[in-house]
């Protein structure tokens, strides 16, 4: 089975399996863009200087959202992660927002079924097949183990940063698992950069 990119994995796990709505009130475009930066980092295309994202290799990686981040960095140099994240919600063409792009790609791959609600014609994307459940199980096992790959550490860091982890795992985390998550976030370059960026965003 082909491994999902982090934008696709996060995009799938953000969705409530029953309603097709996002599981979070946080800006979904911001979360997907964080996943794109994480994908670039895991592939060695970017690195972090504190909370600044620095381009290492501009070669496209084959993921639409990640490649758009690399193109942006190649055109204008390093960006503070907070600025990349806050810019995600400023895309006025809804069809070009990172979250909308990812939902279309998940739909094309058969991982979600897309419809529109009767109220405000909101896009609903209900996970299809077993991929979302399998991925949730992998996340839960990784949180339990505490020793994982850089890619899974980045995924868990994103889910924890945006308060999605409990919903994905499906149960409250006991102290041991909370300690595991804290250690994962601290050891992951993505986790530490995200934590710093979110602190910067929260400061008026």
* Residue appearing with tokens 């409530």: 16
CATH number at residue 53: 1.10.3630.10
As a whole number of angstroms, the distance between CA 80 and CA 73 comes to 11
Please check whether residue 198 lies inside any domain of the structure. Answer: yes
Residue 71 lies in a domain: yes
Q: Is the pTM of this model over 0.85?
A: yes
Per-residue pLDDT of the chain (204 residues; tens, 9 = 90+): 578 999 999 999 999 888 888 888 778 899 999 999 999 999 999 999 999 999 999 999 999 999 999 999 998 889 999 999 988 766 656 778 888 899 999 999 999 988 876 655 567 788 787 889 999 999 999 999 877 899 999 999 999 999 999 999 988 899 999 999 999 999 999 999 999 999 998 865
In a domain, residue 1? The reply is no
Is residue 121 domain-resident? yes
Range of the domain at 21: 6-202
How big is the chain, counted in residues? 204
Q: Domain count of the chain?
A: 1
Going from the C-alpha of 87 to that of each of 13, 68, 92, 119, the distances in angstroms are: 22, 13, 11, 27
Residue 131 CA to residue 32 CA, distance in Å, equals 18
């Amino acid at each position: 089975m082909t491994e999902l990119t982090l934008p696709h994995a996060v995009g799938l796990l953000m969705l409530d399996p029953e309603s097709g709505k996002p599981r979070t009130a946080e800006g979904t475009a911001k979360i997907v863009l964080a996943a794109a930066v994480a994908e670039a980092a895991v592939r060695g295309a970017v690195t972090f200087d504190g909370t600044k994202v620095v381009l290492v290799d501009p070669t496209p990686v084959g993921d639409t959202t990640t490649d758009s981040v690399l193109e942006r960095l190649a055109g204008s140099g390093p960006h503070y992660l907070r600025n990349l994240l806050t810019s995600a919600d400023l895309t006025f063409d809804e069809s070009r927002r990172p979250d909308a792009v990812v939902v279309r790609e998940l739909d094309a791959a058969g991982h979600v079924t897309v419809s529109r609600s009767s109220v405000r014609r909101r896009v609903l994307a209900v996970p299809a097949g077993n991929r979302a459940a399998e991925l949730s199980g992998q996340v839960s096992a990784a949180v339990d183990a505490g020793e994982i790959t850089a890619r899974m550490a980045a995924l868990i860091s994103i889910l924890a940063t945006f308060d999605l982890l409990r919903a994905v795992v499906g149960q409250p985390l006991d102290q041991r698992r909370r300690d595991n998550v804290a250690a994962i976030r601290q050891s992951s370059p993505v986790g530490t950069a995200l934590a710093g960026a979110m602190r910067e965003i929260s400061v008026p």
